[in-house]
Chain A
Amino acid sequence: AQSVSQHNHHVILSEAASLELGCNYSYGGTVNLFWYVQYPGQHLQLLLKYFSGDPLVKGIKGFEAEFIKSKFSFNLRKPSVQWSDTAEYFCAVTSIQGGKLIFGQGTELSVKP
C-alpha cells in the first residue's frame, strides 16, 4: 500500500539550531516527492519538490531535501532555523504521472526564540 511516514510528530528547537525532519515512503513505482509547510492558520505552501535529476533539492526559505532512493527517504533540512519557521511540515508523494498526493502525518516544528 502507498504510504508516507514522518518520523517525528513534534520537534522543538531553539533559534539557530539545525533541523532535519525524516520522511520515508512506500510506493510501487517511480515517484515525485514534495515537502509542504502549513503556517498556523494558513494553507499549505510548497517548500520544495523532487521530480528527477540532482537528488539534493533546494527550496524556499533556506530549506533543502535529499532524495535517497535506496532508503526510500526524502529528509528535509535547514542549517539554522528561525522562530518564523514554526509550522507544520508535511512530506508527500505522488506517482510520476501525477494525481493524488499521499501525505505523511505531519511534523509540528516549534522554534523557541
Chain B
Amino acid sequence: DTAVSQTPKYLVTQMGNDKSIKCEQNLGHDTMYWYKQDSKKFLKIMFSYNNKELIINETVPNRFSPKSPDKAHLNLHINSLELGDSAVYFCASSQRDTYEQYFGPGTRLTVT
C-alpha cells in the first residue's frame, strides 16, 4: 500500500523545458506539501495546500506552480527549467490535527 506516491521517480531534461511532477496520497489527509532537497541534502518547504487551498508559499520562483485538483493530489509544474532546479523534490501529506508528515519517495530532477 503506497501512502504517498510520486511520478516520475527520475526526470532528466534540458534547460528551458517545462515539466510536471505528480503526487498522490491515499491517507485521507487534508494537507499536502512540496519540499526541495538540494545536493547537500538540505530540505526546504516550497508549498503547502490544505483542502485544495494554497496556505504556504515560500520564496519560490514564479516558474514553479503547484496545482491541487483535489485534496488527494498536489502536482508541481515547473516552467523554463534552469540548472539550479536540479534537486530531489519530495511530496508530503499530513492530517492537520496530527501534524505528522508522511513523505513520498521523491523525484530526482536533473536539468542539463
For B42, list chain A residues within 8 Å (CB): 103, 105-106
Cα–Cα, bound, A43→B41 (Å): 12
For A94, list chain B residues within 8 Å (CB): 99
Interface residues of B in 13-62 (CB under 8 A from A): 31, 33, 35, 40-45, 48, 55-56, 58
Question: When the two chains form the complex, which single residue of B40, B90, B94, B101 contacts A105, counting CB atoms closer than 8 Å?
Answer: B40
A-B contacts at CB below 8 angstroms, number: 53
CB distance from A84 to the nearest CB of B (A): 19
Most B-side CB within 10 Å, residue of A32, A88, A100, A105: A100
Chain B: interface residue total (CB-CB under 8 A): 27
By a beta-carbon cutoff of 8 Å, the part of chain A in contact with chain B is 32, 34, 36, 38, 42-46, 49, 51, 88, 90, 94, 98-103, 105-106, 108
Cα–Cα, bound, A53→B2 (Å): 32
A51 touches B103 (CB 8 A): no
Question: When the two chains form the complex, which single residue of A36, A90, A99 contacts B56, counting CB atoms closer than 8 Å?
Answer: A99
Interface of A is mostly: strand
A99 touches B48 (CB 8 A): yes
With contact pairs A100-B48, A103-B44, A106-B42 given, residues A44 and B33 touching in the complex (Cβ less than 8 Å): no
Chain B 84-112, CB-CB to A under 8 Å as 1, else 0, gives 00000010101011011111111000000
With contact pairs A43-B90, A106-B41 given, residues A98 and B105 touching in the complex (Cβ less than 8 Å): no
For A46, list chain B residues within 8 Å (CB): 100-102
Cα–Cα, bound, A94→B43 (Å): 14
CB distance from A34 to the nearest CB of B (A): 8
B101 touches A101 (CB 8 A): yes
CB distance from A53 to the nearest CB of B (A): 15
